[in-house]
């Protein structure tokens, strides 16, 4: 009985022997008229209850995920000399932005079973329940979505960019593009050893429009008629002003 109690006391200590402490350079990103993207610095440390051992070294994985929304992916085929939509698959939830940064090659720092459990890689972060019965290669639609968003800088795989000093301090930077979706961006840190996750931590960065951009955005959603009339009026006044300025320059 005493032996069992001793084991129960030791297990929590071992499970929490190494935990990750996270820091962010900012917890909010404001989108303004001249917003051309942003860069966030993710840094942290490994908190230990015991000294560093000679076991297999730790590795660090950082993920940043934007708001997830359904996406319809269409495939085009050439028919009679023109390209037409031939098939479509609706992906149930795909992050608008997703970045994975690691301290080493991904295949070395993460086991597949751990990826399945924590949904770390881009493929696992996308949720696609099913496809129409007449589509046999639905996985290709998900691959195409990932490929297109990678080309646009919205999906990123950054292997070996996490600096991990003395198995204690780590840091990395992730570039966010200009075409961000508003909402909460979930930042997760995973400590792994031998590909298995030993600790994880999560925080949220909020991205949103501010100032005049926010007011115009809310006006377009709450009062679209007023927004449309105002847009037309501004366009007419701008055209009239440009025409008047051109006439003055021509007559001078």
From first to last of its 252 residues, the chain has per-residue pLDDT tens of 443 333 333 334 344 578 888 777 777 777 666 667 788 888 889 888 766 666 788 999 999 999 998 988 877 766 666 766 677 777 888 999 999 999 999 999 999 999 999 999 999 998 876 655 556 666 788 888 899 999 998 999 999 999 998 888 999 999 888 888 888 999 999 999 999 999 999 998 888 765 555 555 565 667 677 667 777 887 877 777 777 777 777 776
What's the CA gap between 212 and 127, in Å, rounded?
35
Q: Provide the whole-model pTM.
A: 0.73
Strand partners, 188: 63, 202
What's the CA gap between 171 and 163, in Å, rounded?
5
- Looking at residue 54, its pLDDT comes to 65
DSSP assigned state of 160: T
- Looking at residue 90, its pLDDT comes to 79
Handedness of CA 128, 130, 134, 138 (dihedral sign): positive
Cα–chain center distance at 60: 17
Structure-block tokens of residue 58: 């730790």
Angle between helices 224-251 and 211-222 (to 10 degrees): 130
Interstrand relation of 82-95 and 68-79 (parallel, antiparallel or unpaired): antiparallel
What's the CA gap between 35 and 115, in Å, rounded?
34
Interstrand relation of 18-24 and 38-48 (parallel, antiparallel or unpaired): antiparallel
Domain ranges of the chain: 17-209, 210-252
Class of CATH domain 17-209: mainly beta
- Looking at residue 240, its pLDDT comes to 79
Whether the CB-CB separation of 145 and 126 falls below 8 Å is answered with yes
The helix/strand/coil state of 235 is helix
């Amino acid at each position: 009985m005493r032996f069992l109690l001793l084991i129960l006391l030791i297990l929590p200590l071992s499970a929490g022997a190494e935990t990750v402490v996270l820091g962010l350079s900012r917890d909010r990103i404001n989108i303004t008229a001249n917003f051309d993207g942003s860069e966030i610095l993710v840094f942290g440390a490994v908190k230990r209850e015991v000294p560093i051992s000679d076991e297999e070294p730790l590795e660090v994985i950082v993920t940043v995920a934007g708001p997830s929304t359904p996406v319809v992916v269409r495939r085009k085929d050439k028919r009679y000399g023109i390209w037409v939509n031939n098939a479509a698959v609706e992906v149930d939830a795909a992050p608008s932005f997703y970045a994975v940064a690691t301290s080493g090659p991904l295949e070395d720092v993460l086991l597949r079973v751990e990826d399945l459990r924590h949904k770390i890689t881009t493929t696992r972060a996308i949720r696609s329940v099913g496809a129409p019965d007449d589509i046999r290669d639905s996985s290709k639609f998900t691959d195409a979505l990932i490929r297109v968003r990678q080309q646009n800088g919205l999906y990123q795989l950054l292997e070996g960019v996490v600096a991990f000093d003395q198995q204690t301090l780590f840091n990395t930077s992730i570039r966010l593009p200009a075409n961000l979706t508003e909402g909460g961006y979930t930042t997760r840190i995973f400590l792994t050893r031998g590909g298995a996750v030993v600790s994880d931590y999560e925080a949220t960065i909020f991205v949103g429009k501010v100032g005049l951009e926010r007011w115009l955005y809310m006006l377009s959603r709450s009062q679209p008629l007023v927004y449309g009339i105002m847009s037309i009026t501004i366009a007419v006044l701008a055209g009239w002003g440009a025409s008047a300025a051109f006439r003055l320059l021509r007559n001078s």
